[in-house]
Structure 1
Amino acid sequence: MKHFPRLAAFLLSLLTLHLSLFSADDPAAESHRLKLGMQAWTFKAPLTFAEAVERTSALGIRYIQAYRGQKIGGGIEGELLPDMDAATREKVLALLKKHNVTLASFGVYTPKTDEECRQLFAFAKAMGLRDLAIEPGMAKWPEILPVIEKLARETGVKAGIHNHPNPNRPSEYMASLKPYGSEIGLFADTGHWARSGWEPVAGLREVRERLVGVHFKDLTDFVRKAHDVPWGSGAGNAAGQIAELRRQKFDGVVYIEYEYRTPALPDEVAASVDWFNRANAAPLADLDANRVPPKGFTHDATAVTATKAPSGTKPWQGPKPLFAPDLANADCKPGSWAWENGVLTAKGGGDLWTKESYGDFYLSLEFRCAEKSNSGVFLRCSDTKNWLDNAIEVQILQGDAPSERELVGAIFDCLAPSRQVEIEPGKWHQYVISARGSRITVLLDGEQLVSMNLAQWKEPGKNPDGTPNKFKKAYKDMAPKGRIGLQYHGAPIEFRNLYIDPI
């Protein structure tokens, strides 16, 4: 048995605690079941499309998405292309019928001319497709999307814009699609979102009004080089994705597109199907509460012990509140901080510190600023009197700063966020911060802004790029364990939903 991944479990639990935007008691959402499909790229060359269909059918999956150029096989000459002749199309449809599999989609394809668009939609209509996954460059949208919109309306075949890893937020796609009708939407690849630093559940929530199809993935991490793992066992919050899609009552197809080439591919794909079937049938509360572990995983401490798990392995129990309702586990000047209707409010007079020290952990909190508020979250502080040189500060700031390293999301004066994010006064924003050894990661409202390796900060007063910082201690020498603090910097600041999950 394996220990369930901590980040995925942490994010799942936070859904239950305070993040879900939908009611899990909605009977229609509770009873809604998603359709599972296979992207033939999972079984790409040297396998033929016929072999991909056979494997799809053997897994009990009834929908497949073909991709351009795969050899057809099964006694049928040629490749799967939009310009296949009618006789070849009939043979492909017969092959699919034989294995009780429906060709529901085709992609990802990038039509470059009006003629290619017409040919693609004629092919889609002839084959009875539900939708197409396309990826024209965003600069080409004003030229080509009106053509696609017209053809989609005429043929009844929807078009979904696919996303490869790139810096565009899901909301930016949504804004760019506003001029076009409902025939065009998004074909979301949740793995590519993760590789781009976007949290998949938040992405699905943002695009729910335009979601045509999904390339569903669970990855090892939120980095460009992350790879597929069996669903439910990675960092992508797979159960949260399933819960979100069911709450949306999504009626498209959720496709397995397993891009990682591994000798264990058949077993890992089968494990993903097994997990999907159990997650799809599970009560939403079980998905929210992390009660659908992947095959081979357990939450049972007895089972972990019995299988002689590595030293230190234990089942995940879920995050706990960072501060007690009476602040008995906190250090601060009397009257300087107070809980008011579930909101931890700075009253003036100093910072707020945990009494307990933490080493490796996941921390989630929400903060609300006034105009020009300045605050921060201190990590691993070894000396609260001289916190400047003995704590790692994740910056909170409303408005601009003289340096990018002082913007919201920055590791103060050390590492700038990947982009400047606007913090709206009076609005709640969420941080998810992980500290694991020398690695510090900061997500703001589901977007990864910082991934820092403390080991690269080797000199006092100097950043790896040669720019100066204020600190007398090199960050590589920061204490591996210390107290967590919330900064009062003279301006109004509030916090709520503060949870810590020690690793």
Structure 2
Amino acid sequence: MSCNATRYRWLLVPAVVLAMAPAVTAQVAIPEESKIGGFAIGCQAYTFNRFTAFEAIEKTAQAGGKVIEFYPGQALSPDRRDLTVGHDAPAEVIDALKSKLDEHGLRAVNYGVVGVPNDEAGARKVFEFARAMGLRAITTESVDAIDVLERLAEEYGIAVAFHNHPRRPDDPSYKVWDPNYIASLVEGRSPLLGACADTGHWARSGLKPVDCLKILKGRIISSHLKDLNRMGPGAHDVPFGTGVCDIPAVLDELKAQGFAGNLSIEYEHDWENNVPAVAQCIGFVRGYTK
């Protein structure tokens, strides 16, 4: 075989590989108009779990947020408590949510934390809901379904973010609290798989959020951003910049990593009247200038 023929043969290899690779749908990007201080910031609707999804949208907008992350099971509205948000919801729920979001200038970006079954038919329902809502990502802790999640993430172009609750000393099988575990879980897999960085739950586990973000560099899909009054179990949320999570350093690290996801404020304190604290958190990010 001539040198030119050999060269031509090797030039064919990438094309063959690309032809055999599964097609990946382009991931939904968060537009600049949905960002504050360089970040797409708003609320995880669970912040307002004493209220309905419509009220969560209203309160997120009232606090100054631009995006929202829904969770399964929240009643739709004060006058339609028989309907709930989720991947089993009828089309009228999706239409109503979209209309309410448009009314208040908000963008839905995530859905979770949701349990995803380890079978394609069940998991596909979650992705279909996410696509119908125009979401960027799904938030879950269903690590047992990772193969199905990866396959569908690439098919739909929707990211999957593995969330962390606090460490459970009496349950060694619960591993997602550890960023090293999540990093090893997604290593070598699709870039659409990564972490939902819950800074408060890391602090409740005795971990410094910035250190955790560095471990997961390049794999941060989204964040449940929290600041806490102290480290360890039993700590509660406080406005950004007044607690122990070092939110300025967290924002610096996310910016340095080129983070393109959303920051969901999940303020799990003063449940009935937390809009002022959430507004203070958003104001903190609005003033971020680095």
TM-score by length of 2: 0.80
Matched-pair contact (CA < 8 Å) for 2:218–2:257? no
Alignment correspondent of 2:122 = 116
Bigger RCO of structures 1 and 2 (CA < 8 A, at least 6 apart): 2
Runs of 4+ in 1 over 2 A off after TM superposition: 74-77, 261-264
Q: How does 1:6-155 map to 2 (within 5 A)?
A: 33-45=38-50, 47-73=51-77, 75-76=79-80, 77-114=82-119, 115-136=121-142, 138=143, 140=144, 144-155=145-156
Alignment correspondent of 2:163 = 162
Q: How does 1:134-283 map to 2 (within 5 A)?
A: 134-136=140-142, 138=143, 140=144, 144-166=145-167, 168-261=177-270, 265-279=274-288, 282=289
- The higher radius of gyration belongs to 1
Structure 1 pair 119–262 and aligned structure 2 pair: CA distance change class (3 A): closer
Matched-pair contact (CA < 8 Å) for 2:47–2:271? no
Matched-pair contact (CA < 8 Å) for 1:152–1:183? yes
SS in structure 1 of the partner of residue 228 of structure 2: coil
Distance in structure 1 (CA, Å) of the matches to 2:276 and 2:100: 25
Q: Deviations over 1:201-240 (max 9, x none)?
A: 1111111211100001110111111110111000111111
Q: Deviations over 1:93-126 (max 9, x none)?
A: 1111111111111000111331321110011111
Structure 1 pair 152–164 and aligned structure 2 pair: CA distance change class (3 A): same
Residue identity over aligned pairs, in percent, reads 33
Matched-pair contact (CA < 8 Å) for 2:118–2:148? no
Alignment correspondent of 1:477 = none
Q: Deviations over 1:256-284 (max 9, x none)?
A: 000123565222222112112112xx2x3
SS in structure 2 of the partner of residue 109 of structure 1: coil
SS in structure 2 of the partner of residue 98 of structure 1: helix
Query: Aligned partner of 2:66: which letter?
Result: R
Distance in structure 1 (CA, Å) of the matches to 2:90 and 2:276: 36
User: How many residues in Structure 1 have an aligned counterpart in Structure 2?
Assistant: 244
Matched-pair contact (CA < 8 Å) for 1:146–1:180? no
Alignment correspondent of 1:450 = none
User: Larger deviation: 194-203 or 179-188?
Assistant: 179-188
Distance in structure 1 (CA, Å) of the matches to 2:186 and 2:158: 17
Matched-pair contact (CA < 8 Å) for 1:217–1:236? yes
Distance in structure 2 (CA, Å) of the matches to 1:277 and 1:170: 28
RMSD: 1.6
Query: Aligned partner of 1:275: which letter?
Result: F
Distance in structure 2 (CA, Å) of the matches to 1:104 and 1:121: 13
TM-score by length of 1: 0.47
* Structure 1: tracts of 5 or more residues without a match: 1-31, 285-503
Distance in structure 1 (CA, Å) of the matches to 2:61 and 2:178: 35
SS in structure 1 of the partner of residue 253 of structure 2: helix
SS in structure 2 of the partner of residue 68 of structure 1: coil
Query: Aligned partner of 1:256: which letter?
Result: I
Distance in structure 1 (CA, Å) of the matches to 2:237 and 2:155: 37
Distance in structure 1 (CA, Å) of the matches to 2:271 and 2:41: 22
Alignment correspondent of 2:29 = none
Query: Aligned partner of 2:266: which letter?
Result: E
